Amino acid sequence: MPSSDSVPVPIKVLPHGEGLALPAYATDGAAGMDAVSAEDVTIAPGARHAVATGLAVAIPHGFEIQVRPRSGLALKHGITVPNTPGTIDSDYRGELKVILINHGHAPFEVRRGDRVAQLILAPVTRAAWLPVDELDETQRGEGGFGSTGGVVALGN
């Protein structure tokens, strides 16, 4: 039963996702829902794989689902989501898959039911471009790529 601050999202369990837990929040304060793998796969060092979840969703218009890595997998094994955050658009109806990359030094085994990523339902604000001849001035100006400092290796 959705709470007053939740957004209902229709979800379809595909045949190879039967018996797996639906994405869920691990704690009351969790921002992301843990998504699990619907397949067994070994990801070699440097390799990528689109891990099946066995789920398809109908995200409400005006929202997206962001796919983010799990911090424990990233720290302990070098496993992350290379297009972080990945975006699942509201008009996509195919299977949710999580692209994982192995930045570690050893093959990484993903087993059916393993938590592989976090899913975050987020509102989308669409931009409307406003062409101008000049932009307003700011203190930062055109500085980028470390220009604001704080990293010894960048010399600032």
Res. 141 pLDDT band, cuts 50 70 90: confident
Please give the Cα distance from 133 to 138 (Å, whole number): 16
pLDDT band at 33 (very low <50, low <70, confident <90, very high): very high
State the Cα–Cα distance between residues 4 and 59, nearest whole angstrom. Answer: 18
CATH code, 27:
2.70.40.10
- Does residue 59 sit within a domain? yes
Asked whether the predicted pLDDT for residue 150 surpasses 80, the reply is no
Q: Is residue 99 part of a domain?
A: yes
138 domain residue, yes or no:
no
User: Does residue 30 form part of some domain?
Assistant: yes
Let me know: does 13 contact 55? Beta carbons within 8 Å: yes
Please tell me the predicted confidence (pLDDT) of residue 142.
83
Q: Is 149 exposed, middle or buried (0-12, 13-18, 19+ CB in 10 A)?
A: exposed
Looking at residue 65, what is its pLDDT? Answer: 98
| Residue 134 resides in a domain | no
Is 0.75 surpassed by the pTM of this model? yes
Which residue range(s) make up the domain with 117? 11-126
Query: Domain count of the chain?
Result: 1
Share of the chain above pLDDT 90, in %: 85
Q: Is residue 52 part of a domain?
A: yes
